[in-house]
Amino acid sequence: MKTRLIAVLRALAFVLLALVLCGVIFEFAGRAASTAGNPYSAILMFQSIAEGAILNRGAWQDSLRWALPLFITASGVAISFRCGYFNVGAQGQFYVGAIAATFVVDGMRGAPAALVIPLTFVAGILGGAVWALWPGVLRVKSGTDEVITTLMGNFIAGLLLVYVTAGILKDPSGTGQVMASRPVAAAYRISTSSGLSPTIIVIAVIVGVAMWLLVNRTAFGVLSSLAGRNPIMVVWQGARLSRLGLAGFVLSGGLAGLAGTVEVLGPNGRLVSGFLPTHGFTAILIALVASLSIAGTAIVSLFFGGLAAAGLYLPVLVGLPAAAIDIINAAIALFITARTWPGLERLFKHRAAAAGGG
C-alpha cells in the first residue's frame, strides 16, 4: 500500500513538473504572440484548458467521450508493457483496426445491423491484432527491436489510411479536399457524433473489468508482469516467454483496433484520413502515468480525455493554439518515467543511515 502511494505521489510530482515547464513555454509563446496581435498568458492558457476540460457546460461529457477510446487503447498498451515489450505502435494498430472495420461496414451495406455490427467489431479487433502481430513475431523469432518496427508500423499505417481513404474507400460524393470514406449508415452507428452512448460506455467497462481480471486474477497476469521485470525467472518457472510476449502484443493490438472501431462506428461515423493522429501516443502516456495498472489507467484516461476535449475547445472558442495540448502531453512524457531527482536519493540515504544508526 505504501509503495503504491509513493508511486502515485511520484507520478503527480512529475506531472506537476511537466506542467511548470509547459507554463514557461506558454508564457514565452504568449509574449511572442503579441506581434500577431493575440497575446496570452500561461495562466489564461491553463484556465482555458480547465474550462474546456471540466468547468464549462457539457465539458465533462466531452472529456468522457475522449477518455473512453483512450482508455481502451491504453489498457492494451499497459498489458504489452507489463510483458516487457515496448509496443509503441498503438497508433498504427488503432488505424489498421479502423480501416478493417470500415471495409466491413462499408462492404456490407444493407445487411441487418445485428449481423454487421458484431462483424465490424471482429474485423477491427483482428486488424489491430494483425498490425501488432508482425512486430511481435519479428521480436520473438528474430530479436528485431520492437520499438523500431512498431514505430515504422505507425508511419506505414498512416500512409495506408491515406491510401484507402483516397482510393478504395473514398466517398464518391465527397469533395476532393476531405479524404474520407462514405458515412456509416445510421443503423450501424453505436453513438451520435457527440460520442457518448450506453454502448460505448458498456464496451469500455467490459474491457476495463476483463483486463483488470486478466492482470490481477489470472496466471497470465502474474507471469506477464514477472516477464516484464525478470524474464529469466519466468523461463525457470517453465513458462513460454515468447508465447507470453506474443499474447501481449496481440492483446494490445486488438484493443487498439477495438478503439479504432469504436471511433468509426461511434463519434466519427466514417473513416477520415489522418484522424486523431496523437491517439496512440496519448494512450502510451496514460499507461505510463498509471504505472501500468488497469484501475489507474481508467482514472488517468479521464485526465487526458479532458486535455483532448480542451484541445478542441481552445482554438474554436478562445482562439488559443491547440498545440498547447500536444506540448502538455509531450512534457509529461519527458518526465513521467523519471525515477528520482538530483539530491533526493542522497537525502533518503542520509535518513536511512540516521535511522539505522539510531
Partner 1 sequence: MRSALRRDREPKVDQFVIETLRYGTPLVYVTMAGVLASRSGIWHLGLEGLMIVGCCASVIGVVETQSIVVGLGLAIVLCVLGSVLLWFVIEKLRANPIIAGLGLTGLGLGGTDLAVQSIYGSQASVNAPFGLPRLGPAFGPYGVLSVLVVLMPIIVFALWLLLRRTRFGLRLAASGEHPFAARSVGAKPPRLRLIALCLGGVLCALGGTELALGSLQIFAYGMTAGRGFMGFSAVIFGAAHPIGSAAAALFFAVVGALGIRAQLIFGDQVPHDLLLTLPYIATVAGVWLSGRLRGGARAAATFGELRDY
Cβ–Cβ contacts within 10 Å for residue 315, how many? 13
Our CB check for partner 1 shows the closer of 167 and 356 to be 167
* Shortest Å, Cβ 161 to partner 1: 9
Name which of 3 and 142 has its Cβ closer to partner 1.
142
Please give the DSSP secondary-structure letter assigned to residue 187.
G
Cβ atoms of residues 315 and 53 within 8 Å: no
CB 100 within 8 A of CB 257: yes
Q: Which residue is associated with the grid cell 441487418?
A: 112
Query: Residue 102 or 329: which CB sits closer to partner 1?
Result: 329
Question: Helix 279-289 to helix 294-313 angle, to the nearest 10 degrees?
Answer: 140
Among 254, 334, 282, smallest CA distance to 79 is for 254
Phi, psi (5° rounding) for residue 245? -60, -45
Q: Cβ 122 to partner 1, closest distance in Å?
A: 26
Which residues bind to partner 1, rule: CB under 8 A?
Answer: 25-26, 29-30, 32-33, 35-38, 84, 86, 88, 138, 142-145, 147-149, 151-153, 155-156, 159-160, 162-163, 166-167, 231, 281, 284, 288, 321, 323-327, 329-342
Minimum gap (Å) between residue 39 Cβ and partner 1: 9
Q: What is the nearest approach in angstroms of partner 1 to the Cβ of residue 205?
A: 28
> In terms of CB distance, is 208 or 248 closer to partner 1?
248
Q: Would you say the C-alpha torsion 102, 105, 108, 110 has a positive or negative sign?
A: negative
Q: Is the distance from CB of 207 to CB of 258 less than 8 angstroms?
A: yes
Is 125 in contact with 258 (CB distance < 8 Å)? yes
- Cβ proximity to partner 1: between 30 and 128 the closer is 30
Answer yes or no: are the C-beta atoms of 304 and 282 closer than 8 Å. yes
In the complex, least distance from residue 29 CB atom to partner 1, rounded to whole angstroms: 4
C-alpha cell at 105: 461496414
Q: Shortest distance, CB of residue 200 to partner 1, whole angstroms? A: 27
Q: How far is the CB of 338 from partner 1 (least distance, A)?
A: 4
Closer to partner 1 by Cβ: residue 108 or 227: 227
Crossing angle between the packed helical segments 279-289 and 90-107, to the nearest 10 degrees: 130
